[in-house]
């Protein structure tokens, strides 16, 4: 059986959003697991269950800087998990706010404030109930608009909350150098999606999406999932593996 290990975990949460540990807790577990890099990516400003505030960002950056001095054996990043807000590809960060972070992850969640009440209804609420192909294409267009407008590093948990056209998304991501995630909490790729992804040129990233420090660097779900497929592991950018 193949064994897979992450070299860096770039998707972790802390008490600044809806996680249960501190930045230092995540860093310590990352070191224990032998990771070379770790990223803190709490939810940006429109996530309902728990998001950072604009005032938090400065505090988080100071903390990351302090911890980087204390733990020189690991590289620590301050990223953010942004939410897609509407069909125009708006996200819950503006151009100035984006510059405060080392990188941006982008996802769709079930509990997000959209742009005003009307915006929330038209995108976030309809994502719950619309299962049509037309809706899937519109959501895909929205992702593509966002990656063309913003420096998105990876799309996290694609197909969660609402399905998209994975083929078009993968092609657009491949062209822009945006990664697609294998998420540690939920993987919503169908067998057909996996076939499509295998044929595409897109690259992938593992993210634990740890909300508890103990989960940082954990890729049990991804490893189990991939056992079902003959998938080219060399297209996943942050793992080492033995066949
Ligand atoms: Zn997420
Ligand atoms: Zn997350």
pLDDT at 153: 98
Average of pLDDT values for 215-242?
Answer: 96
| pLDDT tens column, 41-51 | 999 988 777 88
CA 42 / ligand 1 centre spacing (Å):
9
Average pLDDT in the chain: 94
Give the model confidence (pLDDT) of 214-224 as tens digits.
999 999 999 99
The Å distance, Cα 215 to ligand 2 centre, comes to: 12
- Show the domains of the chain with their CATH numbers: 3-242 (3.20.20.140)
In the three-class reduction of DSSP (H, G, I as helix; E, B as strand; rest coil), residue 204 is classed as strand
Note the pLDDT of residue 48.
77
pLDDT over 90 (residue 160): yes
pLDDT tens per residue, range 55-69: 999 999 999 999 999
Residue 111 alpha carbon to ligand 2 centre in Å: 13
Q: What is the mean pLDDT of residues 217-240?
A: 97
18 Cα to the center of ligand 1, angstroms: 10
pLDDT at 10: 98
Predicted confidence at residue 188, as pLDDT, reads 97
pLDDT of residue 195: 97
Using the predicted structure, report yes or no on whether residue 28 has a pLDDT greater than 90.
Answer: yes
Confidence at residue 46, expressed as pLDDT on a 0 to 100 scale: 81
157 Cα to the center of ligand 2, angstroms? 9
3-class DSSP state of 232: coil
Q: How far is the CA of 212 from the centre of ligand 1 (A)?
A: 14
Q: What is the pLDDT of residue 1?
A: 54
**From ligand 2's centre to the CA of 104, what distance in Å?**
12
Cα of 50 vs centre of ligand 1, distance in Å, is: 11
Quote the pTM value.
0.95
The alpha-helical segments, DSSP class H, found in the chain are 23-32, 54-70, 95-98, 116-119, 126-129, 133-149, 166-176, 191-199, 220-226
What residues flank ion ligand 1 with Cβ within 5 A? 107
Q: How far is the CA of 129 from the centre of ligand 2 (A)?
A: 22
- CA triple 82-84-85, angle to 5 deg: 120
Q: Give me the DSSP letters along 143-183.
A: HHHHHHHS-EEEE-STTSSS---HHHHHHHHHHHT-EEEEE
Task: Say what percent of the chain tops pLDDT 70.
Answer: 98
Cα 225 to ligand 1 centroid, rounded to whole Å: 18
Tens-digit pLDDT profile for residues 98-114: 999 999 999 999 877 77
Maximum CA pair distance of the chain? 51
pLDDT (0 to 100) of residue 104: 98
pLDDT value, residue 128: 75
pLDDT digits (tens, 9 = 90+) for 110-159: 877 777 777 777 777 777 777 788 889 999 999 999 999 999 999 999 99
């Amino acid at each position: 059986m193949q064994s897979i290990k992450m070299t860096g975990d770039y998707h972790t949460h802390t008490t600044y959003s809806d996680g249960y540990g501190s930045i230092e807790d995540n860093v310590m577990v990352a070191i224990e697991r032998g990771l070379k890099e770790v990223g803190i990516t709490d939810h940006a400003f429109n996530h309902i269950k728990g998001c950072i505030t604009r005032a938090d960002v400065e505090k988080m950056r100071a903390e990351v800087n302090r911890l980087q001095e204390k733990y020189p054996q690991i590289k620590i990043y301050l990223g953010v998990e942004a939410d897609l807000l509407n069909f125009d590809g708006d996200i819950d960060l503006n151009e100035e706010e984006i510059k405060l972070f080392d990188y941006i992850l982008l996802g769709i969640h079930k509990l997000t404030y959209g742009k005003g009440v009307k915006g929330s209804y038209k995108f976030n609420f309809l994502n719950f109930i619309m299962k049509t192909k037309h809706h899937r294409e519109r959501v895909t267009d929205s992702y593509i608009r966002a990656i063309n407008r913003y420096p998105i590093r990876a799309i996290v948990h694609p197909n969660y909350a609402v399905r998209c056209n994975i083929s078009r998304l993968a092609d657009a991501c491949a062209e822009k150098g945006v990664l697609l995630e294998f998420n540690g909490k939920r993987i919503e790729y169908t067998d057909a999606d996996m076939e499509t992804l295998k044929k595409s040129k897109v690259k992938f990233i593992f993210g634990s999406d740890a909300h508890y420090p103990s989960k940082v660097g954990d890729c049990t779900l991804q490893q189990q999932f991939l056992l079902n497929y003959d998938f080219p592991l060399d297209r996943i950018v942050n793992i080492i593996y033995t066949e």
